[in-house]
Amino acid sequence: MRNTSLCRCAYKKLGSKPPHFLIDVMAISRLIIENFRNLAAVDLEFDHGFNFLVGDNGSGKTSLLESLFYLGHGRSFKSTVTTRIIRYDQPHFILHGQIREQRHQWSVGLQKLRKEGNTIVKINGEDGNKISDLAHLLPMQIITPDGLNLLNGGPAYRRAFLDWGLFHHQPEFHAAWSGLNRLLKQRNAALQQNYDYAALKIWDMELAKLAHQVSRWRADYAEALRTEIEKTCRLFLPETEISIGFYQGWEKDRDYAQLLEHNFERDKAIGYTVSGPQKADFRFRANNLPVEDVLSRGQLKLLMCALRLAQGEHLMQQKNRHCIFLIDDFASELDENKRQLLAERLRNSQSQVFVTAITPSHLRQMQPEKSQIFKVDKGTIKPLEN
Ligand SMILES: Nc1ncnc2c1ncn2[C@@H]1O[C@H](COP(=O)(O)OP(=O)(O)OP(=O)(O)O)[C@@H](O)[C@H]1O
């Protein structure tokens, strides 16, 4: 077993050539849950291939996916109020996972207290780890019925999509991105204080440097993903021409420091910085029209799946790291043929996959060699014989 600092340092060093121990399929082999939503006490061993969670409405299927997502992100995909995730009347929730990558194993733990509200993260028994350490260990992609906001929601969803990739591909991204957000916050506060431009200029120079860096990384990553996305779109939406464009948040080729100076009076009047990387977008068009206006919900779901699969595939190709895929309500919005396509593409990804469904019949299209079915019933989860 590796010690934490070694493991963290190794992941931070992910450069063009990954260390040999990252090359194998990564999977969560065991998950222990205490007091997470309606899951009072769960202890499960998972297959490294497909894991199906079948149960009635309200039984706890999404809660299990949510707990896995929480372990990999330190937050929920459903609720921003963490205390609502803790089981009613309980003081805390605890998640404990075992992660395997053929020759190595990590033990990760996360506890959230109702009173203090802080999150305690442990990796291999050591305290003092950050959520970003967990996120590095557990690259995950989630596909839920709400996930269509990636396409029909605001640009923030698509920036988060790009930034997820950069977090895993570009070791310096997280620090640059945090610095950029901090400087923007400070600038916006200063804009409301009636300063002259001279007082802001020194910050703006620093801000512009980070803005150009982050935007360059985003543009390069968007371009690198294009081929993967187009490949999957040809499979999922052969009847539609999908085009992809990246907008950095301000006019291309314009120096950002100059733009900040030029826009200073306007920004001051409005009270915040109008243009910049905080406005970046990754846009999709179908037959040259906005996808949200012309695609059906099923087609939007397929496009969303194509984006998430492409991102996972790209990570695998570039860094030899496998994503874990969490798929809530696999069958919704998709006809038989499209379910088949998605199932096939997931099988080809050779990743660990968690899929929820109300009845086993919704999973007919999935026939992987390696799988485990779990029956979810009123907060209890039991493996079924395949
Ligand atoms: N903090 C909490 N404590 C206890 N139970 C909760 C808490 N939050 C939500 N629940 C309950 O947990 C149950 C499980 O919800 P979940 O979303 O996991 O169901 P599901 O099996 O995915 O259902 P569906 O098929 O309808 O999506 C629900 O009945 C919900 O009311």
pLDDT the model gives residue 11: 35
Q: How far is CA 201 from CA 101, 239, 244, 273, 323, in A?
A: 48, 51, 35, 14, 42
Spacing, Cα 42 to ligand 1 middle (Å): 15
Spacing, Cα 136 to ligand 1 middle (Å): 28
Residue nearest to atom 16 of ligand 1 (CA): 60
Q: 139 forms bridges with which residues in the sheet?
A: none
Spacing, Cα 120 to ligand 1 middle (Å): 24
pLDDT the model gives residue 24: 57
pLDDT the model gives residue 8: 36
Q: How far apart are CA 183 and CA 32, in angstroms?
A: 40
Spacing, Cα 112 to ligand 1 middle (Å): 18
Tokens of 325: 């895929």
Spacing, Cα 374 to ligand 1 middle (Å): 17
pLDDT the model gives residue 365: 80
Strands (E), the chain: 26-36, 39-45, 50-55, 92-101, 104-113, 119-123, 140-143, 242-247, 281-286, 289-290, 324-327, 353-357, 371-377, 380-384
Mean pLDDT, each 10-residue run in order, the chain (386 residues): 34 35 73 98 96 96 98 92 93 96 88 87 88 91 93 96 96 96 96 92 96 98 94 93 96 97 97 97 96 94 95 93 93 90 90 94 79 96 86
pLDDT the model gives residue 129: 82
pLDDT the model gives residue 127: 86
For CA atoms 72, 78, 80, 81, give the dihedral sign. Answer: negative
Ligand 1 atom with minimal separation from the 84 CA: 1
For CA atoms 134, 138, 143, 147, give the dihedral sign. Answer: positive
pLDDT the model gives residue 116: 78
pLDDT the model gives residue 385: 75
Domain residue spans of the chain? 4-139+321-384, 167-283
- Kindly provide the b/e burial profile for residues 347-372, where b requires at least 16 CB atoms within 10 angstroms of the residue's own CB: bebebbbbbbbbeeebbebbeeeebb
pLDDT the model gives residue 259: 98
Ligand 1 atom with minimal separation from the 55 CA: 21
pLDDT the model gives residue 18: 39
Same fold? 4-139+321-384, 167-283: no
pLDDT the model gives residue 15: 33
What sections of 192-288 are H helices per DSSP?
A: 197-236, 256-262, 264-270
pLDDT the model gives residue 194: 84
Q: Which of 38, 79, 377 to mutate to test the pocket of ligand 1 (most atoms within 8 A of CB)?
A: 38
Q: Which of 62, 69, 81 to mutate to test the pocket of ligand 1 (most atoms within 8 A of CB)?
A: 62
Answer yes or no: is the ipTM higher than 0.95. Answer: yes
Residue nearest to atom 31 of ligand 1 (CA): 58
Assigned CATH topology for domain 4-139+321-384: Rossmann fold (3.40.50)
Assigned CATH topology for domain 167-283: Glutathione S-transferase Yfyf (Class Pi); Chain A, domain 2 (1.20.1050)
Q: How far apart are CA 360 and CA 353, in angstroms?
A: 16
pLDDT digits (tens, 9 = 90+) for 371-383: 899 999 999 999 9
> In what helix (H) or strand (E) does residue 128 lie, and over which residues does it extend?
none
With both helix axes pointing from N to C terminus, report the angle between 297-319 and 336-349 in degrees, rounded to the nearest 10: 10
Detail the residues annotated as belonging to a binding site. 55-62
